[in-house]
A = this chain, B = another copy of it.
Amino acid sequence: MFNQVKNTKVYEQIVDQIKAMVEDGTLKKGDKLPTERVMAEDLGVSRASVREALRALEVVGLIESRQGAGNYIKENFGGLLSEPLAIMFMLQESNPLDIYELREVIELETVILATRKRSDEHLEKIKNILDELKENVDEDNNVVLDKEFHYTIAAASGNKLIIDVLEVLSQLIDKFIKVSRKNILSDAENKWDLLSLHEKLYEAIRDRNEVSAHAIMKDHFELIKRYIE
C-alpha cells in the first residue's frame, strides 16, 4: 500500500539537487553556487550537511572552493576523479601494467576514429607538434609534446569522453608506473624510433589510411612495453 521510503542521506539529496540543476541547465561550467547559508536555508537543512555535500563534490573534482569567494562549478575537469581512482586502484591490487594496457586498448581504436574524422585543423596541429618534437632537445618538454601529440589525436576522434578517460589514465600512469615517461622518451635509441613512429602516424592520419594508422600505433605500444617490462 505504501511506497518504500528511500533511505537517502541529507548530503545525497543535496548532491542530487545540484545534479538536477546541472541537468536542466540552471548550473553550467564556471557558475558560482549560492552561499552555504542560502543553500542551507533553501533546502531546509543544516549548514554542516551542505558543507559535507560540497566537500564531497570538491574531492570528486566537480566544484572548487575559492578562498573567500565561494564555491564554483569547475571550468575544466582535468584532475577529475584521479584521487579516488588511485585509491580504488590500490585497493584492487591491480597490476600497474594494466593501466598501460588500457591506454593501448583505447588508443589503438581511437587512432582509427581520428583518421576517419579528423579535420584539416586537427591535422595541422598534429603536424605542428611533430615539427616541435623533431627540433626539441629539452627532455621535460619532450614529455609535454608527446602527451600533446596523443591528446590531439584523441581530440581528432571527436569523442570528448575518450579524451577524459585518457587524461585520467595518464595521471594513473604518472602515479604508478615506476619507469618515467622521461626515461622512455630520452633513451637515445627509443627517441629516434618513437619520432619515426610519430611521423608515420601523422602520415597515416593525413592519408586517411586507417589500417596503417592502427598498425603503427600497435608498433608504438610494443616499443613502450618492451621498455616498461
Q: When each residue 151-167 of chain A gets 1 if its CB lies under 8 Å from chain B and 0 otherwise, what string results?
A: 00000000111101100
Closest to A109 in B: B105
Q: When each residue 45-72 of chain A gets 1 if its CB lies under 8 Å from chain B and 0 otherwise, what string results?
A: 0001001110111111110000000000
Chain A interface main SS type: helix
B105 close to A160 (CB less than 8 A): no
Of A34-42, A91-99, A119-127, A194-202, the one with at least 4 CB within 8 A of chain B = A91-99
Known: A85-B81, A91-B22, A91-B73. A15 touches B59 (CB 8 A): yes
Interface range, A side: 35 or more
Known: A55-B53, A108-B109. A94 touches B160 (CB 8 A): yes
3 A-B pairs with least C-beta separation: A56-B59, A105-B109, A60-B84
